Amino acid sequence: MHYILRRGDFFMKKVFLLTVLIILSFSLVFAIQLPAGVPRSETLICDIDGGRVGNPHLWNPYAPGWRGDAGLHTIMMEYMWEINSQTGKWIPLLTEGFPEALDENYTKWRIKLKKGIYWSDGVEFTADDVAFTIMMLATRKEIPIYTFWHGLIKEAKAEDKYTVYIELKRPYAKLITLFANILWGAQFKVVPKHIWEKVDDYAKYENYPPVFTGPYVLKDYDPSGYWFLYEKRKDWDKSGLGKAVGEPTPKYILYYTYGPEEKRVIAAAQHNLDQLVALTPEGWDALRRRDKFARAWYKDFPWGWPEDGCAKGITFNCAKPPFDNKLVRWALILAIDAVEVNKRGFGGTVKYSPYHIPPLTVYKEPYFDALDSWIRNFSLPDGYKPFDPDIPVKTAKYYAKKYDIPTDPEGAKSIFGYGWWRYDPEEAERLLKSQGFTKKNGKWYLPNGEPWRITIIGHGAFNDSTRIALIVADQWRRFGIDANAQLVEASAFTAMHQTGDFEVSTGWPGCGAIPDFWASIGNNFHKRWVKPIGEVSTNNVQRWVNDKYSELSNEMEKYQPTDPKVVEIGREMLKILIEEQPFTPIVGTTKIVPVDTYYWEGWPTADNSYMAPTWWWGNFKLILPHLKPTGRK
């Protein structure tokens, strides 16, 4: 279903709070009926990121449409390596150390596995499982990622019970990035050979009952996809997590979706939801006023965790005129007021993101500090310098009237990021007129004389995408463009991107978690992924072609993630993206992901930042050994 919205006023805070208060006033109680023998005090209740699971019988991580956010990849499945996205530390869950390159061309590799890890059905995890999974991906065409693995893998075999030998068809220095959970999950998910070798069609296989190496097993689930109950393995110490980190505390974990935000807020306030994946500023305001046990990343403004791995903004379809013209793209950027986006859309809780990677701490020294002088002096062809480094201070001074926050340049940066592009409709007008556009009676016309109309598609289920689409459409209308926001469901949003059936969208292709961003924007914006409009492309959906950028991508691929050359190349790639703007980040993603500490404490916070609060990522399992029961009943 598509929704067309032409007004920028939305998500009225008072209406939301009034709705919640009315519901609460009727004493609506969301009481969960746990199965007999499953005490609430021993059960962790988790939010489901994507809501109800449409196919709750599907536990195959290689099948189209699989869902990992209801426990499959967060607590049951284990990746070979995890990364603590808060500290940057690599954690080998199933391995001993890192992959060993056996030749200088990076075509031969050896991986050592941990001993004593067992699948949840009691069979030992060995090198045979890893080698089998690799060859399965490289030889079975029904698996969606077959093409890539077939083009890469020549051979994988077990040298002994705990050693895997891999030979590649071409040099590939970044092998570990395929196996490690760097951001959300990893491409490679090891499966048990003794079960999967009997499967005829891996794309249709449901993998039920699910067998993985993680510390939890499926106990029960709702056939309609609203809840999933897991129980800690009796032999949890034979899981990768048990070997690498320790015992996860909760005996039971229940994934449960309550539906819309107001219902999730009420459930948490009534201690029937221990953690929430994401709330709007209005939702968090309602929860913290109602629940004294509620806690976000920060105790005070700006509340949320600011280190999520994707920047949000505007994506242009560079295969559709006039968005194929970078000066037109720049004109549209200068008609965006980022401060207004932050205030109206996010209550000032997000960081500005002028670079095409998220505004993460890990990127500060290698990229943001290193490129600071360059971006301040960057100019458009007419000599205009578009970067405004003072935006964080301006925003800080505005919110300092209400909150106790710093307003000096460095303090403001720590809260609001590194600046953004000037809001300058006059320069935007000059750029458009230089490209043949005309403005009559306050309305813009294309060079061919037709009225200029733009539709921005937004993901209707994600607040960040929705709010940016609505606000930017409103700003462009004020500038004189007939712009509207079209909010679509998840499947339509994906399909429209992949086939190029859009003009402008509010997607989030600018992602990353480590200094080597090749696996995200470094590779994904390569021209090799570009296909004609109408054909499916899963990468470079903006259909942007830049020879120099693609050459740098090829060069970056040659180096291991920790090689200093990666950052040198990365800086040059970011410069090209800033000049060209096929995708324009506006803000980083500050996640307000609260917890209710009535039953469980020990959650990561800004005061105890041992991990990131990424409940929906595969590394959520690393938090579980740190949780402690409060003893409340």
pLDDT of 439 reads: 98
Contact between 11 and 344 under an 8 Å Cβ cutoff? The reply is no
The edge-to-edge listing of strands for the beta sheet with 180-181 is: 90-92, 81-83, 180-181
Residue 25, pLDDT score: 44
Q: How far apart are CA 179 and CA 244, in angstroms?
A: 17
Query: What separation in angstroms does the CA of 99 have from each of 54, 81, 214, 345, 560?
Result: 37, 10, 21, 44, 11
User: How far is residue 346's CA from residue 301's CA, in Å, rounded to a whole number?
Assistant: 12
Element (H, E) at 439: strand 438-440
Tell me whether residue 564 is exposed, middle or buried, using C-beta atoms within 10 angstroms of its C-beta: 0 to 12, 13 to 18, 19 or more: exposed
Strands (E), 163-289: 163-168, 180-181, 216-221, 227-232, 252-256
- Positive or negative, the CA dihedral 536, 541, 546, 551 is negative
Cβ atoms of residues 480 and 443 within 8 Å: yes
Residues near 511 by beta carbon (within 8 Å), at least 6 away in sequence: 183, 309, 310, 311, 357, 358, 520, 521
pLDDT at 8: 42
pLDDT value of residue 22? 41
pLDDT at position 3 is 39
Predicted pLDDT at 241 = 98
Four-CA torsion 96, 99, 100, 106, nearest 10 degrees: 180
Q: How is 253-314 classified by DSSP, letter by letter?
A: EEEE---SHHHHHHHHHTTS-SB-S---HHHHHHHHHH-TTEE-SSSSTT-SB---SEEEEE
- In whole angstroms, what is the distance from residue 95 CA to residue 80 CA? 6
Mean pLDDT of each 10-residue bin along the chain, 633 residues long: 42 49 51 86 94 90 86 96 86 96 96 98 99 97 86 97 97 92 90 97 93 98 96 98 97 94 94 94 93 96 91 97 98 98 94 95 94 98 98 96 94 94 98 98 98 95 89 98 92 87 93 89 91 87 97 93 95 98 95 96 95 93 98 92
Whose CA is closest to 214, among 190, 180, 183?
190
Residue 252: what pLDDT?
98
Question: Helix count (H) and strand count (E) of the chain?
Answer: 20, 26
| Tally of residues, the chain | 633
Beta strands 81-83 and 43-46 are unpaired
Q: What pLDDT shows up at residue 495? A: 85
Cα–Cα distance, 474 to 121 (Å, whole number): 56
What pTM was computed for the model? Answer: 0.84
pLDDT at 10: 45
3-state secondary structure at position 381: coil
Supply 258's token pair: 């309550």
Domains of the chain from N-terminus onward: 35-60+208-305+592-629 (3.40.190.10), 75-196 (3.90.76.10), 310-588 (3.10.105.10)
Check residue 380 and give its pLDDT. 98
pLDDT of residue 15: 46
CA angle 121, 145, 81 (to 5 degrees): 55
Report in angstroms the alpha-carbon separations of 149 from 48, 152, 167, 192, 614.
31, 5, 12, 19, 28
- Write down the pLDDT at residue 18: 43
d(CA 254, CA 522): 37
Query: 567 is written with which tokens?
Result: 């950052």
